[in-house]
Structures are given as structure tokens and as C-alpha cells.
Structure 1
Amino acid sequence: MNTLVAVSGVPGTGKTTVAEAIADRIDATVVRTDVVRKELYDAPEYTAAETEAVYDEVLDRARERLDTGSVVVDATFKTKAVRDAARGVAEETGAAFRLVGVECDDEVVRSRIRDRTDDESDADIEVYEVFREQYEPLDSPDLLVDNSGMLAETFAQLDDL
């Protein structure tokens, strides 16, 4: 059975690192909202309509790829509604669904965002702070990963998925 894994968290927590590690473990394709947004928009404005279009495209890509394998979606999934939409894609395709939350200490996130040099994400400290306030808490994640420490510690937590 194929699996759709939704990796959720505010910017800077290390979602991409966790998503890629999960994908390696379960032999899955990663679909990132940051990448899809830049494919769809030359100059992203991060409006509500644009974000909705990006999630629609990401979930469409996941739906298509679930026919042939597992998919890990790397996105903030800041609202319950968009997480429910991902769960719905899994149900439609007969795939298993796993919700993984990624958390990280505030000062570690701030440091990571300041140190970003070659990443698809445009999120800066201001975006992080806005998302931190708007992020709807996860209801019953399958796994909650603390990505504040060393990568080995983060990856060891993935054994519980």
C-alpha cells in the first residue's frame, strides 16, 4: 500500500530535512510547496489565492503519484482544512495517511533562517513569526519530531513512524 505523508510545521523548523529523510526511508517522492510555488509563479506574492492554488497543485501531484508509489508532501499545512484535504487525497487513492509535525526551538529556527543561503524557501524571520501565530495546532499527528538538536537525533525519531 502506498502512503501519503504530510510533513507540517512553521518555516525554519526543518520540514524539508525531515521530509527528505522520510522519503529515503519509504522510497517516496517529495513534493514541496516552495518548489511548486516557484514553478507556478515567477514572482510569488504569497496571497491567499496563490497559496490555495499552490496547495491544489501539490495535492494534485500527490494524487497522481500515489498511483505508482508513496509521496511525502513538504508544506507548512498551517490549517486543519489543508491537512484534511491531504488526508482526503489519501482516502481517495486508497493510500495510507501519516501526519508528521516538525517542531524546533525558537532560537534554533531564527538562526537557521538567518543562515539560509541556497534554499527554495523565501521565508524570513517576519514570515516565521506570522506563521507561528497563525499555525493551527496539529490534532493527533502520527509523529511529532523535535528538530532542535543534531540531525542524528532528528533521524532517530523517524523510527517511530
Structure 2
Amino acid sequence: MTDRPVLYVFSGLPGTGKTTLARCLSRHLGACFLRIDTIEQGLRDLCGCDVQGEGYRLAYRIAQDNLLNGVSVVADCCNPIALTRDEWNDVAERADSDRVNLEITCSDPTRHRERVESRSSDIQGLALPTWEDVLARKYDPWEGDDVIRLDTACRSIEESLDALLSAIENRP
């Protein structure tokens, strides 16, 4: 690892633990925390728009500004398709930064459903997806080995963070 700032990009379906781990990682690293849900809800509230890809495009710009300023960034997003993954990669390249792709899963469908159905929104006005929404969501599998995968199904938050930090530290 170099002294360059790092872009840590989280991916995964809602309810897998992405936001919790992204917050923990950003605190641990002292990095900027960017949450797509916050940005998208802000666009809905302030601009009244039907948000499609605008939240991601705004997040790319904010991330790049921070990286160019020497600040690492933790991006909390579903990052469900190759297009968004490629665009995050482009941000890191333009900012001459390192990049770490992180895919968070919950392999136990019962536990995953319980998480989705029991959580509450911490963003005013944000309607969280239902379990049916999660099941219907388009999410393409990652291709290649350029991603750290972490299954949170049988881990506590602390165990998940420890496993994540270890995987980041030991990546090639």
C-alpha cells in the first residue's frame, strides 16, 4: 500500500450490512464517508427529482474532490452493475488513487430478510426497500478477482469489521 489516498467502494444488496461496515471503516481510517442513500434523498428533497443515476454521478465528483485533496473515501452504495463499478474505477484513476472494491453479502436468506424487515431509516424521508424489493433488485455478480467479498450472515459487526480490515490489509 502506498501513501496515496484510497477509494473504498462498498457493493451489495440492501440489508447485508454495507452501511454499518462502511461507517465503521470510515471511522477507523479517518476517511470521508459518502452514502448514496443520503445524496439521493437530498436530491429528492431539495430538487424534487425522480432520482435515477444522479446520486452516483454527484458522489463520483465529491469522491474525486476528496481523493485529489489527499483524503481517502469510503463509498456506501449498492453498486449493482458493471457501469457503476467502472465509473468508480475511473474516479480512482482520475484522482491517481488506490481503489478497494468490497462486496458485502448475507448468505442466510432468513437472517437477510430479518435485517431488511426490522431496520428503520436514519435518513429523514427515505423509504427503505421491502424484502420483495430486495429480491427483485437487479444486482449483477462481480466478474474477476478485483473485489474483497465478505459474508456477514454469521458474524457480529465487530467480527465483520475485523475480517474486513484483515482482508484489506492482506490483499495483493
Specify if TM > 0.5.
yes
Query: Cα distance, 1:44 vs. partner?
Result: 9.9
Residue 25 (str. 1) matches residue 28 (str. 2) = yes
Aligned 8 A contact 2:43 2:49 in 1: no
Amino acid at match of 2:65: E
Residue 87 (str. 1) matches residue 104 (str. 2) = no
SS at match of 1:42: helix
Residue in 1 that maps onto 2:54: 53
CA RMSD of aligned residues (A): 2.0
SS at match of 1:58: helix
Compared CA separation, residues 157 and 44, structure 1 to 2 (3 A): farther
Alignment match of 2:150 (pick from 122, 137, 145)? 145
SS at match of 1:99: strand
> Residues of 2 paired with 1:61 and 1:102: CA distance?
23
Residue 102 (str. 1) matches residue 107 (str. 2) = no
> Residues of 2 paired with 1:87 and 1:141: CA distance?
11
| Offset from partner CA, 1:49-69 (integer Å, 9 cap, x none) | x22111101111111111220
Q: Which runs of 4+ in 1 moved over 3 A?
A: 43-47
Query: Cα distance, 1:45 vs. partner?
Result: 9.5
SS at match of 1:65: helix
| Offset from partner CA, 1:80-135 (integer Å, 9 cap, x none) | 1101100000000001011000000221121111111243362221221112xx21
Using the aligned pairs only, state the percent identity. 25
Amino acid at match of 1:56: R
Query: Cα distance, 1:145 vs. partner?
Result: 1.1
Aligned 8 A contact 1:3 1:70 in 2: yes
Larger Rg: 2
Aligned 8 A contact 2:7 2:73 in 1: yes
SS at match of 1:66: helix
Gap regions ≥5 residues in structure 1 = none
Count of residue pairs brought into register by the alignment: 157
Aligned 8 A contact 1:37 1:44 in 2: no
Compared CA separation, residues 43 and 64, structure 1 to 2 (3 A): closer
SS at match of 2:93: helix
Gap regions ≥5 residues in structure 2 = none
